[in-house]
Structure formats: structure tokens, C-alpha cells
């Protein structure tokens, strides 16, 4: 392509805008290692300042110390755990198998026994899979919820083995939250309108009721937790999240029981609403509505544990 004489060509300045390109902000490219080191140092300083701020807040407040020190604490012994199973699920984060018009995604969930679990006629470990064709962004977004649904279906199968006397499990561990947060902080109407949420809601509620009837303990282990439920006990949000605070307050092998969802979540919702600029009573009402509709959820206990190693 040619440009006529006097017309601006590529790389030239537009008429009447001398020095336009020279005045643009220059993008500074920092070597990767240098950038990571500088960012890490800045983040370390921010974290240290937050920890010092909490220490000052904790040491200077009898109210905070009194509430936290009054909560039940204990240590897990070195004895072997009761017989049980651990359950987890996964799916490919890169979208699965690329097909015409979408992706074929396999959601996999399974269980493995521990603590001397005994079984008769059934396996001590097993893996199951469900395939889904994903052709919309909405379908992709609900994959984590669908994985939770498959996970809970595996738990129901294990409970069936226990009911039939084929397995002596007394404990079921889940990798992740026991109740997906969408079932706690979305309105009853929103849950009912969503096919996947309504199905998951019913499945989780039945699982809790069935496990209680059989005397089996269900535990959701959340390793990367950023919750701030301690604020529900104190009536205000603290400068650090629960995981950071418990890392400071608990010794190795020690646990602390914070309370039940019924005690914590309505107050927690009110605190979050204030921070988001939402009407507190409305947000609190959504949580109270959900807990009233699912009494099983309100009985779930929140506890923190610091590993011994």
C-alpha cells in the first residue's frame, strides 16, 4: 500500500499533534526474577504489618482475648482415627476434550478408606466419572457445583454400604467445604430457580440427615480458607482472616471450636453486608431464611485445627 506525498504514513505523527507518540507513557519491562523479588518483599512487609496490627489489637483488648480464650479448645491425640473414607472430586480446568461446538468434560470423584476400614463385598477405594458436554459459559461456570454433586453422590453410596452392613465407616472426610457457600448465601428463590443448586441443596440436606441417623461424622476440610467468621463472635471484622489468626493463636496439634452455622452465619452476613454497602437486615434475612429451610445446615460446626507437623 502506498501513501501520497504529504499524507501521514505508518510511524509518522498525525497532523496537528506534534510529539504525540513521544508523550505516551513508556511501559517499563522489569526482568521476571527482579519483579518477583520486589513484589515478594512488598507483600511480606504488608503481611508483617497486618500481623503486628492484630497483635496490638489482641493484646490491647480484653474483650477480644476474653471471647477467643473462652471458646472450646483441645488437642487431637496420637491414637489412630476411626475407620472412615476420604472423598474428593476433580475436573480438567483447561476445558476437557475440544469438540465441534463445545468441550467434553469428565468429572471424576472417588473415595479411599483409612483408619483400618473394613469392607465386605465392596471395594476399600473406588473412582466414578460423569461426562458432560459444555457448550456455553453458563455450563462451564457450574462445573464446580456439578463436581460437588458427584462428590455427594459418592458419599451417599458409601452410606448405603454402611446401611447394608458392608462397610464399618464412622467418619467421612471431604476435600473442601461440607456445604457449598452458594447454598448458604443465596436466597431460597435463587436456589429454587437454579436446577443445579436445587439438586445440590436436596442432595446435601439428605446426606446430612442420613449421616446423623447412622451416627457417622461428616467433615469438610478447607485447607485454603479465607473466611472471617471470627468476626461473627466479636461483632466486627478483624484485620486478618481466620486462617492467619488461628495460625498465630493455636499451637501445633491444637483445635478450636468456633460454633455452629446457626450461631455464626446470620451475624457474619450482617458484617459482610455493611462492608459491601448492602442493607444488613436484607442480607442477614437471606441467610436466616436458608437456615430455617434447611435445619440440617444450622447444626454444622465450625472448627479450626493446626496440624502437628
Same domain, 115 and 197: yes
Give the span between the Cα atoms of 309 and 306, in whole angstroms. Answer: 9
Query: Is the C-alpha dihedral spanning 91, 92, 93, 98 positive or negative?
Result: negative
Answer whether residue 35 is part of any domain.
no
Beta strands in 168-216 (DSSP E): 171-175
3-state secondary structure of 164: coil
pLDDT 10s per residue in the chain (309 long)?
A: 444 444 444 444 444 444 444 555 666 666 777 778 888 888 888 878 777 777 777 676 777 788 888 899 998 876 788 999 999 999 887 777 777 778 788 899 999 999 999 999 999 999 999 988 887 777 788 889 999 999 999 999 999 999 999 999 999 999 999 999 999 999 999 999 999 999 999 999 999 999 999 999 999 999 877 888 988 988 777 778 888 888 888 999 999 999 999 999 999 998 888 878 888 888 899 999 999 999 999 999 999 999 887
Characterize the bridge pairing of strands 84-90 and 301-305: unpaired
Query: Is residue 260, in this structure, part of any structural domain at all?
Result: yes
114/204 same-domain check:
yes
- Residue in this structure with the C-alpha cell 472423598, named with its chain if needed: 87
- With both helix axes pointing from N to C terminus, report the angle between 32-59 and 62-70 in degrees, rounded to the nearest 10: 90
Quick check: is 117 in a domain?
yes
In this structure, are 300 and 212 located in the same domain?
A: no
Cβ burial, residue 190 (10 Å; 0-12/13-18/19+): middle
- Does residue 211 fall inside a structural domain? yes
Q: Which three cell numbers stand for residue 18?
A: 506534534
Contact 281, 96 (CB under 8 A): no
Number of domains in the chain: 2
**Do 189 and 251 fall within a single domain?**
no
Residues 146 and 274 in one domain: no
Residues 85 and 215 in one domain: yes
Query: What's CA 254's distance to the chain center, in Å?
Result: 22
Nearest CA among 256, 152, 253 for reference residue 211: 152
Residue 195's domain comprises 81-223
- Which of the listed residues 172, 193, 223 is the one where a domain comes to its end? 223
Statement to judge: residues 122 and 219 lie in one domain: yes
Same domain, 163 and 135: yes
The string over 193-212, giving b where at least 16 C-beta atoms fall within 10 Å of a residue's C-beta and e elsewhere, is ebebbeebbebbbebbebbe
Entry pTM: 0.80
Helix, coil or strand: residue 188: helix
Same domain, 191 and 243: no
Residue 26: its pLDDT value, please?
67
One domain for residues 92 and 185: yes
Q: What angle do CA 253, 171, 290 make, to 5 degrees?
A: 95
Strand-by-strand arrangement of the 73-75 sheet:
73-75, 254-260, 301-305
Please check whether residues 172 and 292 belong to one and the same domain.
no
The reply to whether 303 falls in a domain is yes
Last residue of a domain, one of 203, 223, 243: 223
Question: Does 233 lie in the same domain as 135?
Answer: no
Domain ends where: 180, 205, 223? 223
Whichever domain contains 190, its CATH number is: 3.30.420
Secondary structure (H, E, C), 249-266: HCCCCEEEEEEEHHHHHH
Amino acid at each position: 500500500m502506498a501513501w501520497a506525498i504529504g499524507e501521514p504514513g505508518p510511524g509518522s505523527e498525525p497532523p496537528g499533534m506534534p510529539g504525540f507518540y513521544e508523550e505516551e507513557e513508556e511501559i517499563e519491562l522489569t526482568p521476571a526474577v527482579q519483579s518477583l523479588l520486589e513484589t515478594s518483599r512488598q507483600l511480606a512487609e504488608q503481611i508483617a504489618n497486618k500481623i503486628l496490627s492484630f497483635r496490638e489489637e489482641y493484646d490491647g483488648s480484653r474483650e477480644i482475648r476474653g471471647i477467643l480464650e473462652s471458646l472450646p479448645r483441645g488437642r487431637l491425640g496420637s491414637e489412630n482415627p476411626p475407620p472412615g473414607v476420604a472423598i474428593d472430586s476433580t475436573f480438567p480446568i483447561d476445558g476437557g476434550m475440544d469438540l465441534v461446538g463445545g468441550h467434553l468434560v469428565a468429572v471424576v470423584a472417588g473415595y479411599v478408606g483409612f483408619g483400618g476400614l473394613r469392607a465386605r463385598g465392596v471395594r476399600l477405594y473406588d473412582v466414578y466419572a460423569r461426562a458432560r458436554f459444555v457448550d456455553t459459559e453458563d455450563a462451564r461456570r457450574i462445573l464446580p457445583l456439578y463436581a460437588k454433586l458427584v462428590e455427594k453422590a459418592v458419599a451417599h453410596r458409601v452410606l448405603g454400604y454402611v446401611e447394608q452392613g458392608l462397610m464399618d465407616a464412622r467418619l467421612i472426610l471431604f476435600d473442601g467445604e461440607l456445604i457449598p457457600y452458594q447454598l448458604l448465601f443465596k436466597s431460597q428463590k435463587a436456589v429454587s430457580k437454579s436446577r443445579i443448586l436445587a439438586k445440590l441443596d436436596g442432595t446435601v440436606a439428605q446426606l446430612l440427615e442420613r449421616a446423623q441417623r447412622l451416627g457417622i461424622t461428616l467433615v469438610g476440610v478447607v485447607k485454603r480458607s479465607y473466611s472471617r467468621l471470627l468476626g461473627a463472635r466479636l461483632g466486627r471484622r478483624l484485620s486478618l482472616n481466620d486462617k492467619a489468626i488461628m495460625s498465630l493463636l493455636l499451637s501445633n496439634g491444637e483445635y478450636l471450636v468456633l460454633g455452629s452455622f446457626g450461631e455464626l452465619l446470620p451475624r457474619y452476613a450482617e458484617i459482610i453486608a455493611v462492608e459491601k454497602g448492602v442493607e444488613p437486615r436484607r442480607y442477614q434475612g437471606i441467610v436466616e431464611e436458608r437456615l430455617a429451610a434447611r435445619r440440617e445446615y444450622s447444626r454444622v460446626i465450625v472448627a479450626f485445627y493446626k496440624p502437628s507437623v
